[in-house]
Amino acid sequence: MIDEEFAAAWMTLQPTVAQRRRVDARVAEWLDAHDTSLAAEWFGLFKVAPFSTAGLVAASAVSLATAPPLIWLARALI
């Protein structure tokens, strides 16, 4: 939703001042409740998907091990 669409929807609703304050307060509470640090989000990713993390580490190790021979072979063929 872009700003113009949001403004149009807001004008359609025509909230009163009290309603507007209540909506603003609820949005602020929701944003504050879901505010986490970047480190906490990264730890959450590792906790939720440990197998994919292990897979990424294994793929990185394999690529580091196979890259030098492949580069050498490519240089030899050129």
- pLDDT tens sequence across 47-58: 666 667 777 788
Most confident stretch, 1-10, 44-53, 63-72: 63-72
Tokens linked to 67? 């890259």
Asked whether residue 6 carries a pLDDT value surpassing 70, the answer given is: yes
CA 49 – CA 47 distance, rounded (Å): 6
Asked whether residue 40 carries a pLDDT value surpassing 80, the answer given is: no
Percent of residues in the chain assigned helix, strand, coil, to nearest 5: 85, 0, 15
Residue with the two structure tokens 């209540």: 22
Kindly report the pTM of this predicted structure: 0.33
Mean pLDDT calculated for residue range 15-37: 80
Residue among 56, 22, 32, 31 nearest 42 (CA): 56
Mean pLDDT calculated for residue range 17-30: 84
Q: Which helix (H) or strand (E) covers residue 57, if one does?
A: helix 50-77
